[in-house]
Amino acid sequence: MSTSRVKSAARTLDLLETLAKAHQPLSHSDLALRTGIPKSSLTELLRTLEARHYIEPLGPHGGPFRLGRAARDLVAHGLDVQHIVACASPVMETLSAQAGYSSGLYVILGDVAERVHGVTAPQGLTMHEGVRAPLYACSMGKLHLAHLDAEALEAYLTRVELRPITPRSVRSVGELQRQLRQVRTEGVAFSQEEFTKGVVGFSAPIFNVHCRMVASIGLAVPTSGFEARKQTLTDMIKASAKAVSARLAASH
């Protein structure tokens, strides 16, 4: 990575941190003085951040500036995820202990699902945080798609490229739609070796107090042992998701 790119990132963070710590909006001159960023560079940086809604000017011709909607949303999202993790973690520990398999907590980021917390069971798949998967290839993604309205789902199906991740990955929109109908009927979603060979991932939705799906709780089960315990594990994961939803509602 070039020195100029590192400098640009540092300046961006310096600017955002300065605005976050300020008790009032700051002018272009104030920002230049407090951050030490040359005014010409600061002007371009402000334009970029304003276009992405990370800052917003209060004057009709620019400045003074304060943090914008995107920055506030980013912080709120981080706090929301931390809260969901806090509510889900003890439930996941119990689920993994009872099921004997590793469990994960997932949220949606655009067109991918991200694991934000994991409990690794003895002999189970290691559940690293930060793992991301396309919506069509993972159980959390299918849950999310199944809960979209018709317009949003059609927009996704129009733009998505169904690239195979494993030989079992979904390869057609028609097959994906069939799976989504099954998700709506059963209330859980499955990814049968579609993202990880030899592993069935399946998830149940977590809802907030407004009945909006905000996350999912899932198990990673070896394919060879899944069918024999499918119903038992499905009941367990539904109960666990319901318990996390209740904890979220109680803490609202």
Alpha-helical runs (H) found in the chain: 3-21, 28-35, 39-51, 69-99, 139-146, 150-159, 173-186, 226-250
What CATH number is attached to the domain comprising 25? 1.10.10.10
| Count of domains observed in the chain | 2
Amino acid at the residue 181:
R
Residue 84, burial from CB neighbour count under 10 angstroms (0-12, 13-18, 19+) = buried
Determine the Cα–Cα distance for residues 131 and 116; give it in Å rounded to an integer: 8
> Quick one: CA dihedral 131, 132, 138, 139, positive or negative?
positive
Q: In this structure, are 177 and 218 located in the same domain?
A: yes
How does DSSP assign 48-89, residue by residue?
HHHHTTSEEE-STTS-SEEE-HHHHHHHHHHHHHHHHHHHHH
Q: In this structure, are 29 and 109 located in the same domain?
A: no
Structure tokens at 222: 């070896």
Cβ count within 10 A of residue 79? 10
Q: What size, in residues, is the chain?
A: 252
Residue that is last in its domain, among 48, 67, 86: 67
Determine the Cα–Cα distance for residues 166 and 169; give it in Å rounded to an integer: 5
Query: Pick from 215, 221, 200: which is nearest to 248 by CA?
Result: 215
Q: In this structure, are 106 and 212 located in the same domain?
A: yes
User: How many Cα atoms occupy the beta-carbon half-sphere of 226 within 13 Å?
Assistant: 16
Across the chain, which has 252 residues, the per-10-residue mean pLDDT values are 66 88 86 91 91 84 80 70 92 96 92 92 90 94 93 92 93 95 95 94 91 92 92 96 94 77
Q: In this structure, are 93 and 170 located in the same domain?
A: yes
Determine the Cα–Cα distance for residues 164 and 140; give it in Å rounded to an integer: 17
Residue that is last in its domain, among 67, 99, 114: 67
Q: In this structure, are 137 and 157 located in the same domain?
A: yes
Enclosing domain of residue 52: 3-67
Structure tokens at 44: 């371009």
Amino acid at the residue 173:
V
pTM as predicted:
0.73
Residue that is last in its domain, among 29, 44, 67: 67
Q: In this structure, are 79 and 167 located in the same domain?
A: yes
pLDDT at res. 1: 45
Residue 199's DSSP bridge partners are: 222
Q: In this structure, are 47 and 129 located in the same domain?
A: no
Q: In this structure, are 24 and 127 located in the same domain?
A: no
pLDDT at res. 251: 84
Q: In this structure, are 48 and 90 located in the same domain?
A: no
Q: In this structure, are 106 and 199 located in the same domain?
A: yes
